[in-house]
Amino acid sequence: MKNHDDLKKRRFDRIIFNFPHSGFHGKESYYWVIQKHRTLVSGFFSNASKMLQVNGEIHVNHKITHPFCCWNLEELASANSLDLIESVEFKIGDYLGYNNKRGAGPKCDEPFPLNLCNTYKFRFLDRAKNMSRQFQDSPPQMQRQRNTPAFNYSHRKRIAAMNRFPLQPQLPYTVDAMNDCFLLLEF
């Protein structure tokens, strides 16, 4: 995407990925299937973040039920210098002309059930924004020679702070989302 001749020199205010899916490789709840989907979305975030205006947004429309919640979009975005700014209920009416399709198999031209879905909205982390702004303002010859470290951001401190307090009085003090998610997987 970032290397496409018509797109590689442009920057966008908003980039939208409707219901990412890497194809059918087994049951959706299988660990390796979830990893294939996560790899797809991570690659998308990596490419899209290089095509985004400094104050632009990346939107991903995605199911929020199990096993789709195990993809952990926020973690994948964070690894690409993006931060979740909002997650709102997906409304197909907001996307005039959009028709969801299965994409493969004998029913490939038929819609798939949407059920519970959200639109996740991401934006550059503040420190990545500053670097992106400097990069976009620099002459093209400097852009090609750019050699800066990746701006990966870990939410470990925020999660550690959250784990010190119960979400509700009857809940345990610590939450391990990855283990909770994969306890429900079928092997």
Query: Percent of the chain scored above 90 by pLDDT?
Result: 49
Q: 3-state DSSP call for residue 67? A: coil
DSSP lists the bridge partners of residue 117 as: 63
Reported residue count of the chain is 187
pLDDT band at 102 (very low <50, low <70, confident <90, very high): confident
* The pLDDT of residue 143 is above 80: no
- Among 1.20.120, 3.40.50, 3.40.120, 3.30.70, what is the CATH number of 12-154? 3.40.50
Q: Name the E strands within 4-108.
A: 12-18, 52-63, 82-89
pLDDT at 42 over 60: yes
The pLDDT assigned to 3 comes to 75
The rounded distance, in Å, linking the Cα atoms of 183 and 99 is 33
Q: How confident is the model at residue 138 (pLDDT cuts 50, 70, 90)?
A: low
User: Would you state the pLDDT for residue 17?
Assistant: 97
- For residues 17 and 66, the answer to whether their CB atoms sit within 8 Å is no
Per-domain residue ranges for the chain?
Answer: 12-154
